[in-house]
Structure 1
């Protein structure tokens, strides 16, 4: 077994988003991506709940927010003890067998009844507390006060926080959790920075110094030999601790700098935390500070295990796509099989749309700005519906080969149309696209490449011009300078096509501003029409 201690897997039943969910983790980096409300945060919260014994002393009313809503609905439709919602979470751990208290977490008290390390959490109705069963069925209300919360190790023994198997930190950079997280964060850093004897010494010296120094203040004297004094029992060091950077407390830094400092402290310690959870670390960060944070994370000592929930393409791709888990409804899809060269490419391609691709149901990949601007209106012209209504996303490859995007999307069941130029078929692009389409069909991938089949129709602007020659000549004549040569890459394509090629984005904006597509004055090239018909099926 490895000497590194980490979380191997999780099983969740009945907790928040998940009726049932399980996934295995990487031992070093785990990046969760997905739409809002699919459960990225639920996984982080489940880990925290089990390791940290969250809600142990909370009011039972909080359970309403923890139960899966479908289970609550099922109970209300058919109220019975058997249908009362229940939560079960199981963390399987990898621990050093010779480590302190390792045997305390080893056993077969788990779902599979196999010997391994781990902790389980159960939240269920306790009949022994004497709830009125008849009343329960009559009013369909969940009796939260009659629920018990139980943490056990796989040895079958109650889980004692003093024997916590992993040093652990949760970084929440959301605005909602900002102020409540300061004290939690500082407590955890303090708790894991010193031995028990060192912490006792610090606390004792603090209390003694406070009492002595306060007693030296003349103004605390009262009449009749009475004085103000410090009651050491009321002074809890952890409640007033803060972390300072350049003389400013962490909570008084801006939100972005606070996030950066927290990350740096958590990951640059010599005795690192075994597990660090990061909730949307991109919040409040400028582009420059985002790069700094990514650098801190990527250069950390690899003895710690990271869990990052993010909406940032930059974070997910720069920290290696093979560490990404795409969370969908009740499932986690690992990208660990992405080819190494593709993953490496995306670590360097800063302006990529990887996450947008992954989170889209249907996609049209285009090469440049003109297609990106005009295809949505051509789509509406052809289908009578907007790309938004049809859940179609247009993604500009921005110089990135469409094949790299398709490699990421393999086995995701996404319908992806590629609009690309044949570049005069100088390297057999037309034949190559046909071969790829046949291969995708055989592999049951919903990918298809569309391009003009005539080598003379070599790029988008040329195809658009030849499909709308009369109207575009009239439209362009009011815009271009007749004395200009309008050469493109050293070749003279004439004033009309030359203008379109040299003013791609501006030309597209002019078309949109004049509503040429919405008024049906422009028709799309045939291969674009075929692509839209195919992707909208």
Structure 2
């Protein structure tokens, strides 16, 4: 199977330098907005599709890394001019036609020693072409028009898209890309589906029949020497192709169905695509259609290498956490070390907050809605700050074992405070203390004794007078919890957790915060 093994880039858009190692089959790029997911896809398209080859050089303003531009502006010289360098390493079948064209040990300035398959893109100032521009450069002006863009294989031969080493398709569902993406998609499927002889015959027959069809119109001649005819150079088969389903052109479908059908076609083994890039496939899709698409991708991912950039939690979870590539400020981290058991759990648990955990800086992990409602209030009461201001997220497990989240956290180096109940179990208290001693970035907080066995008990103990006066109970009514009498007010709190939490939240009163919650807040802020 042919696929993309790795990407190295320097000076391209967001990143001064970045290396990405891709999985052979499925790759899910996740990160904050502007983290660089699209930049990675764009780098691959720049190399393999020779994107920007015929574009005006003014586009370089948007491609150069801003830090490199700032370095040049501070100390302008030919040596400090910004440049772009991208290498894409490939895994190719040595027996396929032209494979040797991409194989070698010449890797430009990086001077790699092992022979590999790949393509290198360079965008740098052409000093010979720019003779006489030295003074302008010294004044801090970047001579965009004097830059040269070159594509070279690892065997140090010029790369042209006609010799593309693998069948490669990018599916972009963003609205700005809608119009050109149809032509690109149709052309790519046509090129990968049929062999050279079939395509050549179709194009030749199309041209001949178009000319014959025009002649059959019987349009009167202009004069004895002049008449209208078809300029076959202006009518190229690939430019007028559309893919139809049930007599409706793909571009005339709704945006959601367009994305779904494009994915369906791309994944069809018969179309012979080696690599499929998908940017935000969740756009315009309903929940049910997205689930169908993910099922389709899961079943057919063995046919191609798939690289998906997404903000969608369901996509990241359903396509397996082990395939996630998490993009941070300066690197890409794989979650391949997450245990298969945890990864499988999150595939099946739709209602999870995996992506929120991954994209948060610091996290409170709580058991349910009560803690989720009240913890931000307690946090602001103690610190004088909102959790939003301090870039802290509160994630409720809602019945999912917090230990599954903790394993992901340990793989990513996240600082997490778990707030949970000890459920009158001394072993849980001892286990939490042992965990905290062994882990510096994740701590578990709960009541220190079995008498402080749950959130409501601890809050009531510290605020008995205030809560007795605030919570209405019926005289003589039994408010037992699990057949045990804890008193009317506490019993009502235990049986109506969310309603009472909301009543506390909207009361406008200040409450004493239990010690273990204080400890969690202070520890997370360290």
The alignment's TM-score, normalised by the length of structure 2, stands at 0.95
**Structure 1 residues 227 and 363, CA, compared in 2 at 3 Å: closer, same or farther?**
same
1:524 to 506, 509, 513: 513
Please tell me whether the aligned partners of residues 280 and 309 of structure 2 are also in contact (alpha carbons under 8 angstroms).
yes
Closer/same/farther in 2, CA of residues 224 and 83 from structure 1, 3 Å limit: closer
C-alpha contact (below 8 Å) 2:337/2:411 kept by paired residues: no
Q: CA deviation at 1:327?
A: 0.7
Q: Look up the match of 1:69.
A: 66
C-alpha separation in 1, matches of 2:8 and 2:231: 47
Cα deviation code 1:55-103 (max 9, x no counterpart): 1111111111111111111111111000011111111111111111111
* 1:482 shift after superposition: 4.8
Q: Say if 2:45 is the partner of 1:48.
A: yes
Name the counterpart of 1:502: 495
Distance 1:228 1:498, change over 3 A: farther
Distance verdict in 2 for CA 1:533–1:155, change over 3 Å: same
Q: Secondary structure at the match of 2:4?
A: strand
Q: 1:508 to 1:30 in 2, by over 3 A?
A: same
Residues 269 and 303, structure 2, Cα contact 8 Å, conserved in 1? no
User: Structure 1 residue 16 and structure 2 residue 9: aligned?
Assistant: no
Give the C-alpha shift of residue 411 in structure 1.
4.7
Q: CA deviation at 1:481?
A: 4.7
Number of equivalenced pairs: 522
SS in 1 for 2:381: helix
CA drift of 1:419 comes to 0.3
SS in 1 for 2:357: helix
2:385 aligned partner: 385
Match of 1:354 in 2: 354
1:233–1:488: structure 2 CA closer, same or farther, 3 Å change rule? same
Partner of 1:81: 78
Provide, for residues 101-125 of structure 1, a one-character-per-residue CA deviation record: whole Å limited to 9, x for no partner: 1111111111213211111011111
* Runs of 5+ unmatched residues, structure 1: none
On the 8 A contact 1:80/1:136 being kept in 2, the answer is no
**Residues 1:428 and 2:427 are matched in the alignment:** yes
Distance, in Å, in 2 between the alignment partners of 1:231 and 1:106 is 41
Aligned to 2:283: 283
The one of 468, 474, 482 aligned to 2:469:
474
> Paired residue for 1:460, among 432, 455, 464?
455
| TM-score normalised over the length of structure 1 | 0.93
Task: Return 364-373 or 238-247, whichever deviates more.
Answer: 238-247
Q: Is the 2:4–2:88 Cα contact (8 Å) retained in structure 1?
A: yes
Deviating more after overlay: 173-182 vs 55-64 = 173-182
Q: Which residue of 2 aligns with 1:450?
A: 445
- TM-fit CA distance, 1:417: 0.5
Change (3 A) 1:528 1:232: same
Match of 1:121 in 2: 121
Alignment of 1:257-296 (within 5 A): 257-296=257-296
Mapped partners of 1:142, 1:130: distance in 2: 11
* Per-residue deviation, 1:207: 2.9
Q: Aligned partners of 1:353, 1:395: CA distance in 2, in Å?
A: 7
Counterpart for residue 523 of structure 2: 534
- Measured against aligned partners, the alpha-carbon deviations of 1:165-220 in whole angstroms (never above 9, x if no partner) come to 110000111122222211111111111111122112222332333334444447x4
* Alpha-carbon distance between aligned partners in 2 of 1:492 and 1:251, rounded to the nearest angstrom: 66
Deviation track 1:472-528 (CA, whole Å, cap 9, x = no partner) reads 111111xx5557543334444332122222222222222222223xxx2x1221111
Consecutive unaligned residues in structure 2, runs of 5 or more? none
CA deviations 1:281-335 (Å, max 9, x no partner) are: 1112111111111111110151411111111121111111111111111201111
Q: Does 1:190 align with 2:190?
A: yes
Please say which of residues 91-100 and 375-384 is displaced more in the overlay: 91-100
Change (3 A) 1:402 1:301: closer
Partner of residue 367, structure 1: 367
Moved more, 414-423 or 129-138: 129-138
Separation in structure 1 between the aligned mates of residue 49 and residue 156 of structure 2, nearest angstrom: 18
d(CA) in 2 for partners of 1:20 and 1:415?
Answer: 26
State how far apart, in whole Å, the 1-side matches of 2:494 and 2:202 are: 71
- The alignment partner of 1:345 has SS state of helix
Distance 2:153 2:211 in 1: 43
Is the contact made by 1:173 and 1:259 (CA closer than 8 Å) also made in structure 2? Answer: yes
1:25 alignment partner in structure 2? 22
Aligned CA-pair RMSD = 1.8
Contact 2:137 2:143 in 1 (8 A): no
1:415 and 2:415 matched: yes
Contact 1:79–1:136 (CA<8 Å) still a contact in 2?
no
User: Which position in structure 1 is the counterpart of 2:36?
Assistant: 39
Cα distance, 1:273–1:484 mapped onto 2, change above 3 Å:
farther
Please say if residues 374 and 508 of structure 1, whose CA atoms lie closer than 8 Å, have aligned partners that are also in contact: yes
Per-residue deviation, 1:456: 2.2
